[in-house]
């Protein structure tokens, strides 16, 4: 885990794409044979494989700088530059074997087969369902159909100018009809597709659960900390960004959509985990881990005994959903990556304070030593449904100077309780003012304050007071 964090933190703009940056470069040479070798394979399934997209006349053409021709090189960019293409082959690498050995408590790596493990394949391959005889073409990794939907019904028709069979809620029961494609041009839909793996999901509609938990992190898997704008900025683009780039205030809009979609995914996953714990406890008490520790601030437990990096008062406040009045030392700070900046957005960017109350009530409940899973399940499920309104509002909101200033003022007036929250504030400021040359040196200073020092594998040297001071200077720079 140390190597992963040391690579990612100097490039904090990557945000939550920890797994993305953690794959060793050498694994590109270990990839299974390229998809073109089975481009003629036709399956009795709804999935066709990336080979069906790879013709030079379709998406396998040469890379072009012209926006009108980007579609022709989508496969070419994906297979040569996109880490998703190697998502399956990475499971054959030494690091994956070691993680799997730790996860399964096996005596030796020779018996490790993460490339056959459903929990790994759920996010590392295009799969329709978990059973061995119903998987897609595994060597595609995270291929075209992972994001755009199963292609059998639309492969022949989607090149037509009149074709418009696109769905905007792939999570709905029986969402895919014959001929439906996921509408990834809609940023809210795109974010929803990303968070299914990069935050987690309960599965359903033919898809397995994506539940990367604390046991996997303890085994060596990188922590999942997703942030949509950073992910989009670092993705090798195989799509035209002309419409996105021309939208006024696009970066704040992408940030807002990503925050709402990520929080919704986190709530859905919480409801799924609570339901699983409830079901397991009914069969055998205490048989399921609850609460799931990966949802909390890692460094609430993994820190030095002297707490040099954290003010205990701030730390306690984080454990009660940010409510210092009811904070008690020893409470677990839940949702520290997604919750603080999402609450900022809902309160100051979208004017939906009732959604903030729902989230903070859940955080208060989850900060207790033994939160009741039945109550958590119902509240998280209800809050996730309400978050859809926030996702829709984030998509159409006008992020003019007044709204953006209100949001940024609120952010820079905060005193972050922990490193997670400080990262969230930085990513908000970067998405809002990343193209402003006035603040470029100041943003670089924020990055320096967040970077892990030396050989540290945690932010034990993070200095909240220095971060607060720099936020004051940043605020003066923007609002003299």
Q: What would the pLDDT profile of 107-142 be if each residue is shown by its tens digit?
A: 998 889 999 898 999 999 986 554 454 455 788 899
All residues at 6 or more sequence positions from 278 whose CB lies less than 8 Å from its CB, including other chains? 373, 374, 377
Rg, C-alpha atoms of the chain: 22
Please state, in angstroms and as integers, the Cα–Cα distance from residue 302 to each residue in 231, 235, 434, 443, 473, following that order.
26, 31, 32, 27, 31
Question: Over the range 13-38, which residues count as b (16 or more CB within 10 Å of their CB) and which as e?
Answer: bbbbbbbbbbbeeebeeebbeebeee
CA angle 281, 284, 289 (to 5 degrees): 50
d(C-alpha 412, C-alpha 94), whole Å: 43
In the structure encoding, which two tokens stand for residue 280, read together? 């397991």
**Structure confidence at residue 242 as a pLDDT band (50, 70, 90):** low
- Which segment of 15-29, 116-130, 449-463 scores lowest on mean pLDDT? 15-29
Residues composing the chain: 480
User: pLDDT, tens digit, for every residue of 146-177?
Assistant: 999 888 888 888 888 787 778 777 776 566 66
Q: What is the percent of the chain with per-residue pLDDT over 90, rounded to a whole number?
A: 46
User: pLDDT, tens digit, for every residue of 84-116?
Assistant: 999 999 999 999 999 999 999 999 988 899 998
Q: Is the pLDDT of residue 220 over 50?
A: yes
Helices and strands in the chain, H and E counts: 19, 2
123: enclosing H helix or E strand: helix 118-124
- Predicted structure pTM score: 0.85
Contact call for residues 356 and 400 (beta carbons, < 8 A): no
d(C-alpha 346, C-alpha 341), whole Å: 9
User: pLDDT, tens digit, for every residue of 368-409?
Assistant: 888 999 999 999 999 999 999 999 999 988 888 888 888 999
In the structure encoding, which two tokens stand for residue 8, read together? 């990612």
- Name the class of domain 31-211: mainly alpha
**Domain range summary for the chain, segments of one domain joined by +:** 31-211, 248-478
Average pLDDT (336-348) is 93
């Amino acid at each position: 885990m140390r190597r992963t964090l040391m690579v990612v933190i100097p490039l904090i703009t990557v945000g939550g794409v920890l797994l993305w940056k953690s794959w060793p470069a050498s694994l590109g040479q270990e990839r299974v044979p390229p998809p073109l070798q089975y481009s003629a394979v036709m399956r009795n399934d709804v999935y066709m494989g990336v080979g069906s997209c790879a013709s030079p006349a379709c998406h396998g053409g040469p890379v072009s700088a012209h926006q009108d021709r980007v579609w022709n090189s989508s496969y070419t960019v994906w297979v040569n530059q996109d880490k998703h293409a190697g998502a399956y082959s990475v499971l054959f690498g030494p690091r994956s074997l070691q993680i799997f050995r730790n996860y399964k408590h096996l005596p030796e790596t020779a018996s490790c087969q993460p490339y056959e493990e459903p929990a790994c394949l759920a996010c590392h391959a295009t799969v329709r369902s978990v059973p061995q005889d119903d998987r897609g073409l595994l060597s595609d990794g995270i291929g075209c159909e992972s994001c755009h939907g199963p292609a059998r019904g639309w492969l022949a028709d989607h090149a037509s100018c009149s074709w418009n069979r696109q769905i905007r809620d792939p999570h709905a029961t029986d969402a895919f009809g014959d001929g439906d494609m996921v509408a990834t041009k809609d940023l809210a839909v795109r974010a929803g597709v990303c968070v299914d793996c990069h935050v987690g999901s309960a599965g359903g509609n033919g898809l397995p659960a994506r539940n990367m938990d604390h046991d996997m992190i303890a085994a060596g898997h990188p922590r999942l900390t997703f942030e949509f704008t950073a992910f989009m900025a670092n993705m090798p683009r195989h799509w035209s960004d002309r419409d996105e780039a021309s939208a006024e205030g696009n970066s704040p809009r992408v940030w807002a959509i990503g925050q709402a979609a990520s929080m919704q995914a986190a709530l859905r996953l919480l409801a799924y985990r609570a339901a699983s714990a409830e079901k397991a406890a009914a069969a055998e008490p205490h048989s399921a881990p609850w609460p799931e520790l990966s949802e909390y601030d890692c460094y609430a437990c993994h820190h030095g005994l002297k707490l040099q990096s954290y003010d205990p008062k701030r730390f306690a406040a984080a454990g009660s959903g940010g409510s210092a009045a009811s904070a008690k030392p020893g409470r677990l700070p839940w949702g520290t990556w997604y919750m603080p900046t999402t609450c900022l957005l809902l309160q100051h960017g979208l004017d939906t304070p009732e959604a903030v109350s729902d989230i903070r009530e859940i955080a208060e409940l989850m900060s207790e030593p033994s939160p009741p899973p039945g109550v958590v399940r119902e509240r998280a499920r209800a809050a996730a449904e309400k978050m859809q309104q926030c996702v829709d509002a984030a998509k159409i909101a006008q992020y003019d100077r007044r709204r953006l200033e209100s949001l940024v003022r609120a952010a820079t007036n905060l005193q972050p309780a922990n490193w997670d929250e400080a990262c969230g504030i930085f990513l908000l400021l970067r998405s809002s003012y990343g193209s402003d040359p006035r603040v470029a040196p100041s943003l670089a200073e924020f990055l320096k304050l967040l970077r892990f020092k030396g050989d540290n594998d945690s932010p034990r040297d993070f200095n909240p007071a220095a971060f607060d001071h720099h936020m004051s200077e940043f605020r003066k720079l923007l609002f003299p």
